[in-house]
């Protein structure tokens, strides 16, 4: 899912994913990397849980 897709609208079917209720809540509770108190590198992202 992309918030600003280049080839379709944000709510177009090709940009949507089906999530169970728990995953939907988890997705909306994620911290934006801009809000993190430390810098998260690309290498960190491969080690951290998605």
Task: State pLDDT tens for residues 18-36.
Answer: 889 998 888 788 777 677 6
Q: What is the pLDDT of residue 27?
A: 79
User: What are the structure tokens assigned to 27, written together?
Assistant: 């997705």
Q: What is the pLDDT of residue 1?
A: 65
Which pLDDT band holds residue 42 (cuts at 50, 70, 90)?
A: confident
Reported as half-sphere exposure (CB side, CA atoms, 13 A), residue 49 has a value of 3
What span, in angstroms and rounded, lies between the C-alpha atoms of 14 and 1?
A: 9
- The overall average pLDDT reported for the chain is 79
Pick the residue with more confidence: 10 or 49?
Answer: 10
């Amino acid at each position: 899912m992309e918030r600003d897709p280049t080839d379709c609208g944000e709510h177009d079917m090709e940009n949507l994913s089906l999530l169970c209720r728990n995953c939907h809540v988890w997705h909306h509770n994620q911290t934006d990397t801009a809000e993190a108190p430390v810098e998260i590198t690309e290498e960190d992202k491969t080690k951290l849980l998605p």
